[in-house]
């Protein structure tokens, strides 16, 4: 997998084209329905421990999740389904050394998967 949710066959050309830090693996896949259509959320992780969120419809290959750039390429600490709301997820990301926060928890709302909403819930700042 690459950082744009592209699937790449394991060939010599692919390994030459994609640098090691851009070769990802599927960390998690969660299937859900919205408006009676099947979707899946896929999170790909990379050697630097960052993650990329991808969204697929039915059996189509996934595409990078739009309107969720605040979550993309971040250090994902925790990911779980929000049991209180359908098609909502709780995502906790760590800040890196250049950011002023230790971690932030977000709600990812996929009730309308074509227009996802990401809302910060809690932000823990560095001293």
Contacts of 91 (CB under 8 A, 6+ apart): 71, 76, 78, 79, 105, 106, 107, 108
DSSP 3-state of 118? strand
The per-residue pLDDT for range 89-113, each reduced to its tens digit, is: 999 999 877 777 789 999 999 999 9
The band of 17, judged by pLDDT with boundaries at 50, 70 and 90, is: low
Q: What's the mean per-residue pLDDT of the chain?
A: 89
- Lowest model confidence (mean pLDDT) among 16-20, 32-36, 61-65: 16-20
Residue 90 φ/ψ, nearest 5 degrees: -110, 125
With beta carbons less than 8 A apart as the criterion, state whether 100 and 87 touch. no
pLDDT band at 75 (very low <50, low <70, confident <90, very high): very high
Find, among 14, 12, 28, the residue nearest to 2 by Cα: 14
44: β partners: 26, 52
């Amino acid at each position: 997998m690459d950082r744009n949710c592209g699937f790449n066959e394991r060939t010599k050309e692919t390994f030459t084209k994609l640098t090691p830090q851009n070769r990802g693996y599927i960390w998690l896949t969660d299937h859900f329905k919205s408006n009676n259509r099947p979707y899946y959320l896929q999170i790909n992780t990379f050697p630097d421990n960052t993650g990329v969120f991808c969204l697929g419809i039915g059996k189509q290959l996934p595409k990078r999740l739009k309107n969720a750039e605040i979550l993309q390429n971040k250090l994902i600490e925790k990911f779980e389904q929000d049991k209180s709301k359908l098609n909502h997820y709780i995502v906790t990301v760590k800040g890196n050394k250049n950011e002023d926060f230790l971690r932030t928890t977000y709600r990812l709302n996929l009730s309308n998967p074509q227009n996802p909403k990401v809302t910060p819930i809690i932000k823990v700042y560095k001293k």
